[in-house]
């Protein structure tokens, strides 16, 4: 593997709610980094490399970045996911997904002179590391194929199969690096809404795995530090890949949780931190420490995940948060009053109100704080509520439906706490692998982008 030199890459991030194209700034930043488009867009959740106790929703908003892959380079859109390991691309040419996606949404492996399928006899295929739930494998004789394969399956009943392959990946001004990835040849999903990863030219081509596993992009390129700052609305934000962290604001760090022995429900290559408490306004919820700490099976870890939109809490913590939030907002928010309504199968604290009234109420909502060991992620204002698309109530549909952006992990089939990227907006988040920690600081991400020279 060719290790990436420690370089500082800035990737401009914009929220394209109306489908407007991000502006690609074709100039060098003041400190030598290169500006690339990274955006937050609504994309269907295609399969990701995650343990069986994780679930990915098919409809989600994801952080996406354009990466140049192959020779000559092809620009592909990849979801930036700190909760996944093996990067993958939907492929055509020698790899034909079923059903085939539009040409704009795939990587043409046959057109790249540097593409190579990993052979069964190679050390990469015979690798039996502890990180991937299912290691690469070979076809059983007498199958004629000599290619190494990967097979992925997920808790939402989606699955993907393909080849283990290698090609050059290029991000900004850094030297191209050879990276192992999954060239997906078939993908199936239980989705029946016609909006899956293979029916839109705007869909992501694949996923950039950024966890700490042996086959992640971070590990393969020897990246020891990266950070991002996500701006809300349509404002610009940035991703910093590499460097020494000098560009970051003053950060509060929380150590990564390490467990040496394998446990069935603990993801050892995730960015796992310790959740010490949850507060609503000034009220610290009476949640026992045992509820916030991984148990003997590993269930109950807390993960920082850029690949999940919202934040999920185990049932005991979720019930406590929901009850206190409803109590403190009784005079501000009108409950939906439909006990059977559960958004995305995990969000049942929902409300109804006209948009203007909710905009005014959001400024008065109590802040929710996720208290970590040495740091805190504070969620306030508009980030606390999410408008459910297509749901209207009242006379002539005058009222929209809104749900609290904290979900119930148990209802979603998970056994972990997950801090999603919706609650990381206007927060500088730094993943410091060199020192085994994650840093947080409140930030105006649009201003940070300007100060670092990522916008004109």
Q: Provide the annotated active-site residues.
A: 81, 305
Is 454:29 a contact under the CB 8 Å cutoff? Answer: yes
Burial 120-148 (b: 16+ CB within 10 A, else e): beeeebebeeebbeebbebeeeeeeeebb
Name the pairing type of β-strands 177-188 and 88-92: parallel
Tokens of 453: 């020279």
At residue 126, φ and ψ (nearest 5 deg) are -85, 0
Report how far residue 192's alpha carbon sits from residue 375's, in angstroms, rounded to the nearest whole number: 41
Report how far residue 335's alpha carbon sits from residue 402's, in angstroms, rounded to the nearest whole number: 9
Report how far residue 136's alpha carbon sits from residue 152's, in angstroms, rounded to the nearest whole number: 10
Report how far residue 277's alpha carbon sits from residue 6's, in angstroms, rounded to the nearest whole number: 36
For residue 142, the SS3 value is coil
Consecutive H or E run containing 208: strand 206-209
Is 119:137 a contact under the CB 8 Å cutoff? Answer: no
């Amino acid at each position: 593997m060719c290790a990436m030199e420690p370089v500082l890459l800035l990737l401009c991030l914009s929220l394209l709610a109306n489908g407007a194209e991000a502006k690609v700034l074709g100039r060098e930043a003041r400190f030598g980094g290169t500006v690339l488009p990274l955006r937050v867009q609504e994309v269907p959740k295609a399969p990701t490399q995650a343990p069986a106790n994780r679930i990915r929703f098919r409809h989600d908003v994801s952080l996406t970045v354009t990466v140049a892959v192959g020779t000559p380079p092809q620009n592909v859109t990849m979801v930036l996911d700190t909760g996944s390991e093996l990067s993958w691309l939907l492929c055509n040419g020698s790899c034909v997904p079923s059903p085939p996606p539009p040409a704009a949404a795939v990587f043409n492996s046959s057109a790249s002179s540097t593409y190579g399928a990993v052979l069964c006899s190679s050390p990469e295929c015979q690798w039996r590391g502890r990180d991937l739930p299912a290691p690469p494998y070979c076809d059983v004789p007498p199958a004629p194929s000599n290619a190494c394969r990967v097979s992925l399956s997920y808790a939402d009943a989606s699955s993907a199969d393909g080849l283990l392959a290698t090609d050059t990946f290029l991000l900004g001004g850094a030297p191209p690096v050879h990276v192992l990835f999954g060239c997906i040849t078939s993908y199936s999903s239980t989705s029946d809404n016609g909006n899956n990863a293979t029916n839109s030219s705007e869909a992501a081509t694949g996923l950039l795995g950024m966890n700490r596993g042996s086959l992640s992009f971070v590990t393969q390129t020897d990246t020891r530090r990266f950070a991002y700052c996500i701006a809300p609305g349509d404002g610009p934000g940035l991703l910093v890949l590499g460097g020494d962290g000098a560009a970051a604001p003053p950060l509060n760090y929380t150590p990564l949780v390490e467990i040496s022995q394998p446990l069935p429900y603990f993801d050892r290559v995730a960015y796992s931190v310790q959740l010490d408490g949850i507060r609503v306004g000034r009220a610290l919820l009476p949640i026992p420490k045992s509820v916030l700490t991984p148990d003997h099976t590993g269930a109950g870890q807390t993960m920082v995940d850029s690949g999940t939109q919202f934040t999920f809490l185990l049932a005991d913590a979720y019930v406590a948060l929901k009850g206190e939030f409803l109590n403190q907002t009784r005079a501000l928010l009108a409950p939906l009053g439909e006990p059977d309504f559960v958004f995305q199968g995990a969000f049942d604290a929902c409300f109804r109100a006209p948009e203007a009234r909710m905009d005014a109420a959001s400024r008065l909502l109590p802040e929710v704080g996720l208290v970590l060991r040495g740091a805190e992620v504070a969620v306030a204002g508009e980030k606390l509520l999410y408008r459910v698309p297509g749901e209207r109530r009242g006379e002539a549909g005058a009222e929209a439906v809104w749900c609290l952006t904290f979900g119930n992990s148990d209802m979603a089939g998970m056994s972990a706490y997950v801090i999603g990227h919706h609650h990381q907006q206007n927060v500088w988040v730094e993943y410091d692998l060199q020192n085994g920690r994650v840093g947080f600081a409140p930030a105006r991400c649009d201003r940070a982008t300007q100060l670092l020279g990522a916008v004109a």
